[in-house]
Structure 1
Amino acid sequence: MQIGKKLKPIKLFSTIQGRIVVLYGLLFLIAFIFINLAVSQLTGSFLTTSRIDSQSQEVESIATHLAAATANGDAEELYAQMLSSSKQIGGRVLVLDTDGIVLMDSYAMLNGRLLQHKEIEDIRNNSRTVSYGFHEVDGEKGSLFDNGKFWAVYYTTPIVYQSRNVGILLVSVSIQDVMDMVTQTQQDFALVSILILLAMIMIGILIARWISKPIAQMTNAIQKMSHGDFSGKVKITGASEIVEMGKTFNRMSERLDNVENQRRDFISNASHELKTPLSSIKILAESLLYQENVPEEMYKEFLTDINAEIDRLNSLLTDLLTLAQADNPAMVMRMTWENLDEIIAECIHSLQPLAQEKNIKINHIWNGVSMRCDRLKMSTALINLISNGIKYTPPEGSVTVEVEEQSQFIIITVSDTGIGIPQEEQAHVFERFYRVDRARARDTGGTGLGLAIVQQVVRLHGGEIMLTSTEKSGSTFTITMPQGRPEA
């Protein structure tokens, strides 16, 4: 055995289950201790009071019975009556004079002795008609308590004959049987309490397992999350706070799983989006570099293609930078009072060349609405929405933009007559790098970030964006933002 080796601490309180069982057991133990004390006290009090009330009446009856013999000084008659009374009550009978000196003892042991017990003084002082007290006395030889101690009650009462106090009666009666009964009751109750406590601890263990099981499931799922597995779910039934916590955990797990999948998609998409134009640029550049006597027309064509691929890269990087800036909680919003219709007109003007290529008409319903906003970010969001409508609308179609005031809100709608979005895809269109039709999105130059940027800009302005779409019938994006008030 290694000297100085530390003993491992008992991990009784290291788990919720252990804590519940220990606390549950302690609560029942404390409760049983108090109940045991209360039952013992009540039982002892009841039995003792009943015994004392009964024997007090007997003592008064004995005093009446001995009065004549005591007053007449008939020692023989008195002793005979005392023996009879001693046998009747099951105790020791002593007759004392009014000064406390023993005139006669049924045990014939204390004759002539002066006794000064409190119970005797109570009678001498006329403070009580019957007095009693508890005493631990030595057992008499040959008795049930031979050579042992036992508890006895000393009863005293005046001996009255013809309205004159002629003496004091002292009766000593064992009450050990009551004490033994109380002790036995305590022991029996303690045994029952222990058995009940053990049963309660077993029930507590079952309850603790039932309570801690879902927590253990969530702990295991969280440990899996720490290793990158976000697919774990916990199965919790019933109706309680833990069930609600389990449901919340499952929602969080699902959300994290979606975020992780989006991250993987981002890496894949971003790599592809960056690699495709770079590969094209490399091929075009190598063609010009290693091919001799390249015609000027080919140079222009290849350089034009290289320029287009660079523009594509620039667009992707710009979207990524815009989204990163919008995600930054420390970003400063440059809020000014702006005419939204003017901003929309500028956006439409910049997108007219793209619309004219497909002969798409952009309609602007002008209502002269103004609000406080970050002009640059709002322009970015509107350009993304309008250009998205142009890209996914067939030739000869249209895109309509309208802004209006409703109560304390500004409502901006961008509608198109495009291909629409399937119902099952609509809940995901604002997710980053999500594309309804990936192949078509690449053909149109989409990065999958445009609508995510729009949503983030709208949220920064305290608003929300919703989509309504039907396949082959077009889509409508509705932005709702608080109006605000112009600065004085």
Structure 2
Amino acid sequence: MLRIKLKWFHSLRLQLFVLFFLVSAIPFMFFASLTTGRIEAYFLEDSKAEWMRQANLVVSQIIQTNNYLKEGTNYTIFTNKIRELSQSEEVNARIIVVDPLGYVVADSSRIDLNTTLLNTQIFNALNKKNSSERYEKAGNFIMSTAVSIIDKEDNDKVLGAVLLSASINDIYKLLEDMESQIYFLSLIASLVIGLLSFFSSSIITRPIKTLMKVVQRVTNGQLDQKVKLNGKGEMAELANAFNHMTEQLQLVDQSRQEFVSDVSHELKTPLSSIKVLTESLMCEEDVPVEMYKEFFYDINSEVDRLNVIITDLLLLVKLDRTEIMLNINETNIKHLIANILKRLSPLARKKDIEMIYEANKEIYAEVDEVKLTLAISNIIENGIKYTPEGGQVKVKLQSDMQDVFIEVEDTGIGIAKEEQGRIFERFYRTDKTRSRDTGGTGLGLSITYRTIIMHTGSIQVESEEGIGSTFVIQIPIKHV
């Protein structure tokens, strides 16, 4: 049973808001992270290039103004020059100068003076591999740049190396501010999208709410409910499908009510006859034996009729069960139909009806012989019953590589076009008095239809009033 609480949809708009917010926030945050990373890489590359230029400038001034590294003279002037360059506005960084052996000959901060400093960066610079690297120390970001000092008279001779160390915290402060703004803008954009989805979600939720209200009514038994939605979108298609479903439910409910009514009527008719006959006997005095016999004969006939109706109803109930098993065996269909015609031939002879059977070859199919015999018998027997005297009933058997085709054609009274679609319904009669006059229950074609469907086959009818009817049964040769 379908149970849906409509109050769930009251929060749907809020859920859509959260969903759209998250969906938009995730890519925005990813974009913000990617953007800040690219900006950081750009600033670092720019800073490395700038400090490489400053280091080369310091090397140029050392070579031009002092020959200490080459001749070992004027040390005081050399160290003063280093300190002066370190404190200049253009450089403003710690400057360390080492000789070819990595010995610190000058240090603007005098921390590593007269020590050996031979790390990877210094070693590379002494081998003419200049570099600029960033590292973090005690929460501070430092740019370290090492450049070799080349003898201007001999380009193959390395006199030493210059190491510049400068704080780049200002860059990361700027990056931090930019990152905060980017993330803030991303959050605002996500929030705006979420709010827009919140206010526009009513366009989506309104038809859903309408549909669910109708669904709730249908589940409460109001099968005549319809959903009215304009447009041609998916919701309109869903509404049309739902309306079609309710129409089918109404038909099923109507068919069920008609079935109950028809069953009651079919059972009531013979019971009423029995009651009238028995009351007639009870009310009469000195009833002759012959009348007793006649009435008992009529009562017995009505009891037989009741028995036939109940038997057919029980058979239909069994056929309606999805778990019913078919006793499938390979059967000679040609012989099966021949036996049916042989059994029904006395009924045809009574009405002087010609029986014609056309079967050019032996055809074998995987079927339930008993159930299929009953189904085909119902069609042929109906053809005989509703064909006037001197008429004809023709049965034709054919097959292809996949299916068996059984065609039953009669020259009977025919079926009106508007009623041909309902002849397989239970108790349906094209003429309400016809089946009773011929002794039928109105269930034969329903039994035939269910049996053919269980064999994964089909049955079609073509008929014209006053000319006759043709039933075509199609059954697969291999049972699926």
Q: TM-score range by the shorter chain?
A: 0.7 to 0.9
Which residue is 2:126 aligned to?
A: 126
Does structure 2 conserve the Cα–Cα contact (< 8 Å) formed by 1:95 and 1:102? Answer: yes
Matched, 1:456 2:450: yes
Which shifted more, 126-135 or 428-437? 126-135
2:176 alignment partner, one of 183, 187, 206: 183
Q: 1:183-222: per-residue Cα shift (whole Å, max 9, x none)? A: 2332232123223433555677799988898888887777
1:155 alignment partner, one of 139, 145, 152: 145
1:287 alignment partner, one of 280, 288, 292: 280
| TM-aligned CA deviation for residue 273 of structure 1 | 0.9
Which residue is 1:478 aligned to?
A: 472
Q: 1:335-379: per-residue Cα shift (whole Å, max 9, x none)? A: 4546245323334334248x63xxx62433354765556554344
Does structure 1 conserve the Cα–Cα contact (< 8 Å) formed by 2:48 and 2:133? Answer: no
Q: How many residues align?
A: 453
| TM-aligned CA deviation for residue 475 of structure 1 | 1.4
In structure 1, runs of 5+ residues without a counterpart are 1-10, 139-148
Which residue is 1:58 aligned to?
A: 54
Change (3 A) 1:462 1:130: closer
Change (3 A) 1:128 1:19: farther
Output the amino acid matched with 1:388. Answer: N
| TM-aligned CA deviation for residue 58 of structure 1 | 2.6
Output the amino acid matched with 2:452. Answer: V
Which residue is 1:447 aligned to?
A: 441
Does structure 2 conserve the Cα–Cα contact (< 8 Å) formed by 1:32 and 1:193? Answer: yes
2: CA distance between counterparts of 1:167 and 1:459? Answer: 99
Which residue is 1:3 aligned to?
A: none
Which residue is 1:91 aligned to?
A: 92
1: CA distance between counterparts of 2:124 and 2:273? Answer: 127
| TM-aligned CA deviation for residue 96 of structure 1 | 4.0
Which residue is 2:36 aligned to?
A: 40
Change (3 A) 1:361 1:91: same
Which residue is 1:384 aligned to?
A: 378
Output the amino acid matched with 1:100. Answer: V
Output the amino acid matched with 1:155. Answer: T
2: CA distance between counterparts of 1:445 and 1:231? Answer: 38
2: CA distance between counterparts of 1:430 and 1:158? Answer: 103
| TM-aligned CA deviation for residue 286 of structure 1 | 1.9
| TM-aligned CA deviation for residue 49 of structure 1 | 0.8
Write out aligned runs for 1:322-361 (5 A). Answer: 322-328=315-321, 329-333=323-327, 335=329, 336-337=331-332, 339-352=335-348, 356=351, 361=353
Does structure 2 conserve the Cα–Cα contact (< 8 Å) formed by 1:403 and 1:410? Answer: no
Please give the root-mean-square deviation of Cα atoms over the aligned residues, in Å: 4.6
Change (3 A) 1:137 1:341: closer
Write out aligned runs for 1:4-15 (5 A). Answer: none
Change (3 A) 1:445 1:246: farther
Which residue is 1:100 aligned to?
A: 104
| TM-aligned CA deviation for residue 122 of structure 1 | 0.6
| TM-aligned CA deviation for residue 81 of structure 1 | 8.4
2:355 alignment partner, one of 359, 363, 377: 363
2: CA distance between counterparts of 1:68 and 1:423? Answer: 115
The TM-score with structure 2 as length reference comes to 0.74
Change (3 A) 1:450 1:129: closer
Q: 1:393-452: per-residue Cα shift (whole Å, max 9, x none)? A: 4x4462413233344554433223334323232222223333334454445444321111
| TM-aligned CA deviation for residue 250 of structure 1 | 6.5
Output the amino acid matched with 2:53. Answer: Q
2: CA distance between counterparts of 1:345 and 1:33? Answer: 82
1: CA distance between counterparts of 2:362 and 2:124? Answer: 109
2: CA distance between counterparts of 1:125 and 1:81? Answer: 18
1: CA distance between counterparts of 2:327 and 2:205? Answer: 47
Other structure's SS at 1:89 match: coil
Q: 1:47-101: per-residue Cα shift (whole Å, max 9, x none)? A: 1112211331232122212334443628569747864774452513546463325
| TM-aligned CA deviation for residue 44 of structure 1 | 1.0
1: CA distance between counterparts of 2:463 and 2:95? Answer: 112
Which residue is 1:466 aligned to?
A: 460
Does structure 2 conserve the Cα–Cα contact (< 8 Å) formed by 1:100 and 1:120? Answer: no
| TM-aligned CA deviation for residue 274 of structure 1 | 0.8
The TM-score with structure 1 as length reference comes to 0.73
Which residue is 1:146 aligned to?
A: none
Change (3 A) 1:251 1:184: same
2: CA distance between counterparts of 1:206 and 1:469? Answer: 60
| TM-aligned CA deviation for residue 310 of structure 1 | 1.9
1: CA distance between counterparts of 2:361 and 2:161? Answer: 114
2: CA distance between counterparts of 1:137 and 1:377? Answer: 92
1: CA distance between counterparts of 2:348 and 2:14? Answer: 71
Which residue is 2:264 aligned to?
A: 271
Output the amino acid matched with 2:32. Answer: N
Which shifted more, 313-322 or 127-136? 127-136
Other structure's SS at 1:456 match: helix
Does structure 2 conserve the Cα–Cα contact (< 8 Å) formed by 1:467 and 1:478? Answer: yes
1: CA distance between counterparts of 2:210 and 2:392? Answer: 52
Output the amino acid matched with 1:126. Answer: L
Does structure 1 conserve the Cα–Cα contact (< 8 Å) formed by 2:96 and 2:163? Answer: yes
1: CA distance between counterparts of 2:240 and 2:117? Answer: 77
Does structure 1 conserve the Cα–Cα contact (< 8 Å) formed by 2:375 and 2:447? Answer: yes
Which residue is 1:313 aligned to?
A: 306
- In percent, how many aligned pairs have the same letter? 30
1: CA distance between counterparts of 2:358 and 2:124? Answer: 117
Other structure's SS at 2:355 match: strand
2: CA distance between counterparts of 1:303 and 1:483? Answer: 49
| TM-aligned CA deviation for residue 280 of structure 1 | 2.2
Other structure's SS at 2:314 match: helix
Which residue is 1:259 aligned to?
A: 252
Which residue is 1:7 aligned to?
A: none
2: CA distance between counterparts of 1:206 and 1:397? Answer: 79
Change (3 A) 1:416 1:205: farther
Does structure 2 conserve the Cα–Cα contact (< 8 Å) formed by 1:262 and 1:433? Answer: no
Output the amino acid matched with 1:291. Answer: E
Does structure 2 conserve the Cα–Cα contact (< 8 Å) formed by 1:122 and 1:131? Answer: no
| TM-aligned CA deviation for residue 264 of structure 1 | 1.9
